[in-house]
Structure 1
């Protein structure tokens, strides 16, 4: 991905009953374009005793993007959204000035049947002038996303613009996120197809970039659009993402992202004092970490 390429390995961390792989932020690379946080969830078995039950927690200064390969999640938030997301659809919540939400296994999956959940939880920082915008929520069904096939590679444009196409997700900056699945070895042509910094997350299989073999569980990042040749092995599953970086640094603490540290300090006090908006009919509360 250029001589300045950086390979980042998933670092496992626990969220309750689940083990997830953290890819961003990384100490040597805090962001890729406007993407500031990427967690790889699962694959995990959903069954009695290990349901997803993430109680009320707040966000500011970012949009969350949830994209599942398998399974379902129920999203509820303080602006009144109540949405079950299924594999291949997109949940896009813009926190802006402040929002609270929960993520749980839907009621119809809380039975004796075991299911699998697998996907990504992603945060996209907002441009400085939009950090305090009003919160929004949008759900885009899988059939509304652009899909195409080239030389044994199957593409889905999840968000933003790329390869001459535009996704219906209402993003707030220049970015791209594309799912790619191959049935045979493919020469991935990126140059002039996407703009900005480039990240490739290998979900399954492997790629070869600039003589480096990158296997599943790793991400490779390039600071240049003129990426070197990327060969994708057969039966490989990728997420290609990135975009144009912001001029200003972003600060991150827990679920808060902001260009000014003072905004994060105010959000911390607001959450401790329980002054954020609430999810209706939900009394859960995840305390601010010390």
Structure 2
């Protein structure tokens, strides 16, 4: 009997001047553990006249996790952070009671051809930390736990799993693991994981109980064990999840909270320009949409 409860296909979504594949939230599954939002960016080829320009925009009640496969993004925020993220690194920005950031093609790449490809993820905060002070942490590629089992490589991007722990400072029990196979291999995760679990297939494919799944599919497990499945050769998958929260999370545009009044306040503060502003980008911002699709 298959342990796959739900299959979510990427759906096209527009984030300004850039198309992405949206995985979460989904009407039948709003969250997986604390993971409330996942966009797959690209791979998108950008010419010398095209750049990523996501202007200043706010968040509350969550942490953002950016993980690139190709390309580069310049991150700036109202804490004064200004840092270029490259493939294999992690940007972990915790909004808490409120933060504003922008994401753009770095200056040194703006007049050349380039490719942008990666994941952008929101992780909801526990109720008692939704109004915490904002923070930003960058974790280098070499700082992430990486190990091999045969011809299969594992990288623990965030959280705890397989007796290891990432340096990304998460605020609730969770895990996000990259798995790359050079050869066809069988994985048996057993009781290594906990809470709710999902598998996102970036490339290649997996087989589980006679069913075959391929790229751009998110598989939601009925339980965290995920049982046993086979990865095809040259596949890359992301296993993620964790303990779900007891309270519902509401999402309105870029705001996540268990309390609708906090979202209403954030919305009003953004419309009336009461959020802090990024130095040098005071007049560049994304207005609150009249009809939000989040």
**TM-score in terms of structure 1 length:** 0.97
Aligned to 2:123: 124
Q: Per-residue displacement from partner, 1:201-237 (whole Å, max 9, x unpaired)?
A: 0000111123321110100011412323211111101
How many Å apart are 1:14 and its aligned residue? 2.0
| 3-state DSSP of counterpart to 1:5 | strand
CA distance in 2, matches of 1:238, 1:8: 14
- Provide the aligned C-alpha RMSD in A: 1.2
| 3-state DSSP of counterpart to 2:50 | coil
Q: After alignment, is 245-254 or 201-210 more displaced?
A: 201-210
Aligned to 1:74: 74
Superposed, 1:37-48 pairs within 5 Å as 37-48=37-48
| 3-state DSSP of counterpart to 1:139 | strand
Q: Per-residue displacement from partner, 1:68-124 (whole Å, max 9, x unpaired)?
A: 01110000000111010000000000000000000000001112x312110000000
| 3-state DSSP of counterpart to 2:41 | strand
CA distance in 2, matches of 1:223, 1:273: 44
CA distance in 1, matches of 2:55, 2:249: 26
Aligned to 2:274: 275
Is residue 153 of structure 1 aligned with residue 152 of structure 2? yes
Structure 1: stretches of 5+ with no match in the other structure: none
In the alignment of these two chains, the number of paired residues is: 289
Superposed, 1:1-290 pairs within 5 Å as 2-3=2-3, 5-111=5-111, 113-282=112-281, 283-290=283-290
How many Å apart are 1:190 and its aligned residue? 1.6
Is the CA contact (8 Å cut-off) linking 1:6 and 1:221 kept in structure 2? yes
Is the CA contact (8 Å cut-off) linking 1:145 and 1:158 kept in structure 2? yes
| 3-state DSSP of counterpart to 1:280 | coil
Is the CA contact (8 Å cut-off) linking 1:17 and 1:50 kept in structure 2? no
Q: After alignment, is 173-182 or 184-193 more displaced?
A: 184-193
Structure 2: stretches of 5+ with no match in the other structure: none
How many Å apart are 1:3 and its aligned residue? 4.5
CA distance in 2, matches of 1:223, 1:55: 38
CA distance in 2, matches of 1:16, 1:253: 17
